[in-house]
Amino acid sequence: MTSKRIFGIDLGTTYSCIAYVDDNGKAVVVPNADNDLTTPSVVHFESAENIVVGKQAKNAAKIDGDRVAAFVKRSMGDPSFAFAVDGKQYKPEEVSSFVLRKLVGDAAQALGEEISDVVITCPAYFGANEREATRNAGKLAGLNVRGILNEPTAAAICYGSDRQSSDKVVLVYDLGGGTFDITMIAIKQGSIEVIYTDGNHNLGGKDWDDRLTNYFAEEFMAKHPTKGDPRDDAHSLQDIANIAEEAKKALSQREKYPLMVTHGGERARVEITREKLEELTADLLEQTIELTKHVLEEAKKKGSTHVDQILLVGGLSKMPCVARRLKETVGIDSQSFEPDLAVAKGAALMGLKILAGELIKDEIAAQSGTSSEQVDLEKVDARTIEEAARKASSRAGTVLRLPSKDLAAAARRKIVNVCSKGFGVVVVRDETGKERMVAHLIHNNTAVPAEVTETGFGTLVANQRSVHVQVMEQAGQAESPSLDDNHNLCEGEFELPGGLPAGAPIHITFRLEEDGTLKLRAVEPSSGRELKLEAKAEGVMSQQEVEEKKGMLLKKPVS
């Protein structure tokens, strides 16, 4: 029987943090070695054998920018991205593994316990590639990744963990350093159900910083036209970028912010107002509002016609203009809810749910003489669960000392997520096979797990000898039948019996699991011949590569 604590990690674009559930059932964020609750997701390859992560790495960007990797989350799952240093190419998941090791190492030192099991969060709209790359980042860091959890769902779990007095529909507006999510979630007694989600993985605080950086550079050139563009000098650019981030944060609290821009031996005093910042970035904010409107419209189609509460998550959601525009759009006030910490806390609470479920299943299995895999807690009565929780609590040891009622409640809490991408197969319209398109069987924002069978497909010609099945995943913001708007997940072929007429039925079944695994079964019903496929992310490291790289990466010290 296991009782090892499962930690929650918010692996962010700009900042990351780690949390656990304490003996009172409360999620707690662990400070890093600098006593900060969040750690910059920045990696400085100080030398070939020494990796620095966090605040010092971020500062090093001023003087050693070519050796500093940042914002890699935006490239997670992209096979074309690599950070080159010391003659080596680091993929996004490899760079992210160093961030994870820093978080876990600092937390282990602070708590005095080994940390191996984690739940890592990701944007809700991440597809198969991005999720697998995130999981691989954890494996490369030497961690046992127990789950990949959507960030808005994590925030809702945190919000709903001690607010179970009444049912609520909440809109989670998550505007972080590099990504944006907008998700409608129903929080009920003992359950959290995602209704609809959307987002943009290339929209976040960095874009606001870039606008300010350009503005400050142009203001400097207006005052010192002979000194050239500070953006052309790596050190000056990094210095202005740091100032831009400071100004952005300050203007969430202040109406104006004075600063000095330095380049080429000259200085220029610039004062930026909140009004000017909002003017410079109005179109960026409107992108989030348009996505918000889309989620509200789509949620209505699913029967959700109102919102009780808007939760603001992510550092950039602190800007007053965000709450103002949301009130104009939705009609209700917003609540800033631990914008920097809620996601990590929610992941930790999800870790508790996983662990509590395992402990209780072990107890029930021991009593019934079955295996824990055969125990379905949704089919077990409350009294049996509570008794198993009591026994599990007494045996869990010093790591997990929660009262049995809290263990039982955590195990019973139902989390219903949706898929953010649609999945389908390639079909053809005529005998030439030239007009190919994607027929989606599982649509985006379908509750998972999901299973769909389509019996309307058929063979193309008489006496067709085989069927080639190609599984596709939606690549853009919306589902599209065009092959260019989808990407290939997997494919396979199986033989058919002879003598079948054109249009002979081929049944296709998709099964999408909660962890994002997609399984396909294609069957020719008259003969029973079939093809089974399990969709695997393409363009990310294989498990063999992960194991080979892990040993090398773990040898590099991280500080």
Q: What is the CATH number of the domain that holds 488?
A: 2.60.34.10
Does any domain span residue 62?
no
Kindly report, residue by residue over 297-345, the tens digit of the pLDDT: 999 999 999 999 999 999 899 999 999 999 999 999 999 888 899 999 9
- Give the C-alpha distances (Å, rounded to integers) separating 452 from 197, 387, 441, 508, 535: 21, 37, 7, 8, 15
Q: Count Cα neighbours of 122 within 13 Å in the Cβ-side half-sphere.
A: 32
Q: Give 545-550's long-range contacts (Cβ < 8 A, gap of 24+).
A: 546/136, 546/139, 546/140, 549/94, 549/140, 550/139, 550/140, 550/142
Residue 251 in any domain: the answer is: yes
Beta bridge partners of 533: 520
Q: Note whether residue 257 is domain-resident.
A: yes
Summarised one tens digit per residue, pLDDT across range 397-446 is 545 677 788 888 888 888 988 988 899 999 987 766 678 999 999 999 99
133 phi, psi to nearest 5 deg: -65, -40
Q: How is residue 201 written in tokens?
A: 């993985």
Is-above-0.85 flag for pTM? yes
Per-residue pLDDT tens digits for 50-103: 899 999 999 888 788 889 999 999 999 888 899 999 999 999 999 999 999 999
Specify if 19 maps to a domain.
no
Through-space distance between the first and last CA atoms of the chain, rounded to whole angstroms = 34
Between CA 57 and CA 197 the distance in angstroms is 34
Range of the structural domain that residue 459 is part of: 423-535
The reply to whether 489 falls in a domain is yes
Contacts of 279 (CB under 8 A, 6+ apart): none
Count of domains for the chain:
2
Res 378: pLDDT = 80
In a domain, 7, yes or no: no
Of the candidates 280, 309, 339, which is a domain's last residue?
280
- The Cα 422–Cα 411 span in angstroms is 30
- pLDDT of 372 reads 80
Domain presence at residue 488:
yes
| Structural domain includes residue 65 | no
CATH code of the domain containing 211: 3.90.640.10
